[in-house]
Structure 1
Amino acid sequence: MPNSLYVVFQAIANVNNEQQLRLALMDQIREYFGVQHCGIYLIDEQLTEEMNVQGIPSVCMENNPVGRYVVERHAPAHEQLLLSPGDWKHFCSRQDHEHVMTGPIVCDGGLVGTLNLARDEGTDAFNADDLADFSALCLHLSAKLATLRAKKAKISNSQLVSPLTPRELEIAELVAQGLTNAQIGEKLWITQNSVKQALKRMFRKLGVSARSEMVAKLHLISVN
């Protein structure tokens, strides 16, 4: 069981994609906060049965004060921060949502999702310490999601503007460094003839006839 938020923060830093962010971290977050249910809900996605199993889609987000607070203020909240004890059950009667805490995941200045925790009936309510830790966790999740999406967008844009394959781009980078076909082949573990044939394809794709022209055109594409 993680005894420090640092362990959870490190786990967030080590994920490589959004799927890992949503699934791989749930056990550690669940254990740290002592909750029975935990899930990330991203606004730009359709809810699926799998998400219902994994956690708490939006923690009964419709028409409840906890959800409204998070949406309006982009700040985390739990039901006893906003309501008198027992009043939460007027909004949600589920026994596995006896206590809930929801926090924002933000990216590019907007709310893109929520992190949702819930405790079963008979468990302790969330307190001020839980809320402070949860706020820090939401900051780390938001920053990681922004990094993952920026990286994904950069890769997509590169593939969109350049007709070359990732392997061909590797060759082009080595050409730009001044390496010969033999040196490129040695670095990439391919034959010198393979490099030669690859360069012919690359020249055709880019409409150039020389190595220097290819490097110049790729540089122009990258800056635009």
Structure 2
Amino acid sequence: MTRSLHPLFEAIAAATTEQSLRFRVMDGVSEYFGVQRWGIYLLDADNGLASVDTKGVSATFIEQYQKVGKAVDPVLAYVLKYHAPAHEALVLPPGAWKQCELYKRCCSTYDHEHIMTGPLVGRGQLVGTINFARIGHVPAFDQLDLARLGAVCAHVSARLAELSKPALVPNSVKCRLTPREIQIANLVAKGLTNAEIGAELWITQNSVKQALKRMFRKLEVSARTEMVTKLNDIPWQ
């Protein structure tokens, strides 16, 4: 029986920052697709790489792919055109995969026997991809894999869009809190502990504690719940 994707969907929905979203997907996605190598590639406004998270993929492959593979990648070309997931057997005639330029320039060297790519989209544009590779003598990706990757990409795309929205902080408070303090305030409002906030923002637990003390003074409050209540009670502008 095919394993349900719902635990992964729940992990994606629970991510509170883009970084934690990437980590949750990277840590959980491979077991649902039987892949040995995988990654998330996010793009910047100029369609260049903003961030890359991979497992089992060497830096030399990424460099080689960006240099000579990306321009001749038929799977990526399909994803760019249709904003739908694809694997090599979907876009190439039977037997053509190992004759194509992408395989000869990149994939053959790194034993990428089968590949599949899914789109991450936002505002009608491609904002990134989720990439899978199976190595060695293993089955190819099939239609069920495509459907499941499409579902994962839809959930990740939706969460990315939510996380990219500006934080709803009143203008009157914005002038008192720094951008980092606003991040901390939003995470406190979501119920995270100091340790969890530190992990999300890549700062120490003590840094979170000291930041909260400064925030309490600025907002003239003495506790986390009082701070959250005050922020919620100020009219949005």
Matched, 1:104 2:116: no
Alignment of 1:37-52 (within 5 A): 37-44=37-44, 46=49, 51=53
SS in 1 for 2:118: strand
1:86 to 83, 86, 95: 95
Partner of 1:154: 167
The change in CA–CA distance for 1:132 and 1:161 in structure 2 (over 3 A counts) is same
RMSD of Structure 2 on Structure 1 (CA): 3.4
Partner of 1:144: 159
The change in CA–CA distance for 1:41 and 1:100 in structure 2 (over 3 A counts) is same
* Deviation, structure 1 residue 54: 6.0
* Deviation, structure 1 residue 46: 3.8
Partner of 1:19: 19
* CA deviations over 1:21-80 (Å, ceiling 9, x no partner): 2223223211110000111101116477x7466648579432221111111111111110
CA distance in 2, matches of 1:132, 1:119: 17
Specify the code of the residue in structure 1 equivalent to 2:41: Y
* Deviation, structure 1 residue 159: 7.1
* Deviation, structure 1 residue 198: 6.2
The change in CA–CA distance for 1:36 and 1:161 in structure 2 (over 3 A counts) is same
Partner of 2:3: 3
1:76 to 55, 61, 85: 85
Specify the code of the residue in structure 2 equivalent to 1:85: P
CA distance in 1, matches of 2:219, 2:121: 43
Which runs of no fewer than 5 residues in structure 2 stay unpaired? Answer: 186-212, 221-233
Alignment of 1:26-41 (within 5 A): 26-41=26-41
SS in 2 for 1:39: strand
Partner of 1:131: 146
Q: Assess if the C-alpha contact under 8 Å between 1:22 and 1:39 holds in 2.
A: no
**TM-score normalised to structure 2 length:** 0.62
* Deviation, structure 1 residue 15: 1.5
**TM-score normalised to structure 1 length:** 0.65
CA distance in 2, matches of 1:136, 1:38: 17
Partner of 1:113: 128
Which runs of no fewer than 5 residues in structure 1 stay unpaired? Answer: 171-189, 200-217
Q: Does 53-62 or 27-36 show the bigger shift?
A: 53-62
Specify the code of the residue in structure 1 equivalent to 2:93: S
Q: Percent identity?
A: 40
Q: Assess if the C-alpha contact under 8 Å between 2:43 and 2:127 holds in 1.
A: yes
SS in 2 for 1:154: coil
CA distance in 2, matches of 1:8, 1:25: 7
Q: Does 97-106 or 38-47 show the bigger shift?
A: 38-47
Q: Assess if the C-alpha contact under 8 Å between 1:66 and 1:102 holds in 2.
A: yes
SS in 1 for 2:117: strand
Q: Assess if the C-alpha contact under 8 Å between 1:17 and 1:148 holds in 2.
A: yes
Specify the code of the residue in structure 1 equivalent to 2:167: K
Matched, 1:163 2:202: no
The change in CA–CA distance for 1:127 and 1:62 in structure 2 (over 3 A counts) is same
Q: Number of aligned pairs?
A: 174
CA distance in 1, matches of 2:84, 2:29: 18
* Deviation, structure 1 residue 108: 1.8
